[in-house]
Chains A and B, each alone.
Chain A
Amino acid sequence: GEDVEQSLFLSVREGDSSVINCTYTDSSSTYLYWYKQEPGAGLQLLTYIFSNMDMKQDQRLTVLLNKKDKHLSLRIADTQTGDSAIYFCAETFSGGYNKLIFGAGTRLAVHP
């Protein structure tokens, strides 16, 4: 079945780059997403990438997609303390609906 895996924790120094990795199983996913969850809040869409793209850049964020290896990554340049949050990777379910399968989330901790 569909599965999305990501490491649970990442710690970086303020100003460094963060790279959060994700692997997924459904090769027919049309979109792949990164969501951000701040403490006590719901998830908010950070960025997404079409499955026919290899890379998408949006200000400090760079998304890389390797379809062959079913690997998705999110790079945050110049990481700030305000980037501390849980980041979820998600893929679309191939059952014909706009239904997402989420990974367990990577908790990013940014320290001075």
Chain B
Amino acid sequence: NAGVTQTPKFQVLKTGQSMTLQCAQDMNHNSMYWYRQDPGMGLRLIYYSASEGTTDKGEVPNGYNVSRLNKREFSLRLESAAPSQTSVYFCASSDQNTGELFFGEGSRLTVL
């Protein structure tokens, strides 16, 4: 049972480059999320998708775009990476009954 799978696990970018983080879940969850984790700041919500076909901004959406490709997949795109986007990114999906979040293993992104 894979749960939530995100790729890549590590990435180094130069300022101005673009990239897409991929995420897929196999638990038939409606809602999916992208968080970033920075030291001393916990997890902050970037974007979320309450259901297939919908996306909404979270706390820190600037500099990011998302696509809910289908029920399983939710991708996060950085169009023009900045050093402030150096972080660990987590994708998650949630059980619609309890609200429990299931997290991927994280993607560590460094922008030089």
A→B interface (CB under 8 Å)? 4, 8, 30-31, 33, 35, 40-45, 48, 88, 92, 97-105
B52 contacts chain A at the CB level, 8 A cutoff: no
Interface string of B5-36 (1 = CB under 8 A from A): 00000000000000000000000000101010
The answer to whether A45 touches B100 (Cβ under 8 A) is: yes
The answer to whether B42 touches A45 (Cβ under 8 A) is: no
B43 contacts chain A at the CB level, 8 A cutoff: yes
A43 CB contact (under 8 Å) in B43, B95, B96: B43
Report if A102-B90 is in contact (Cβ < 8 Å); known contacts: A43-B101, A92-B99.
no
The answer to whether A8 touches B40 (Cβ under 8 A) is: yes
Q: Report A-chain residues with C-beta under 8 Å of the C-beta of B90.
A: 42-43
Q: Report A-chain residues with C-beta under 8 Å of the C-beta of B101.
A: 35, 43, 45, 100
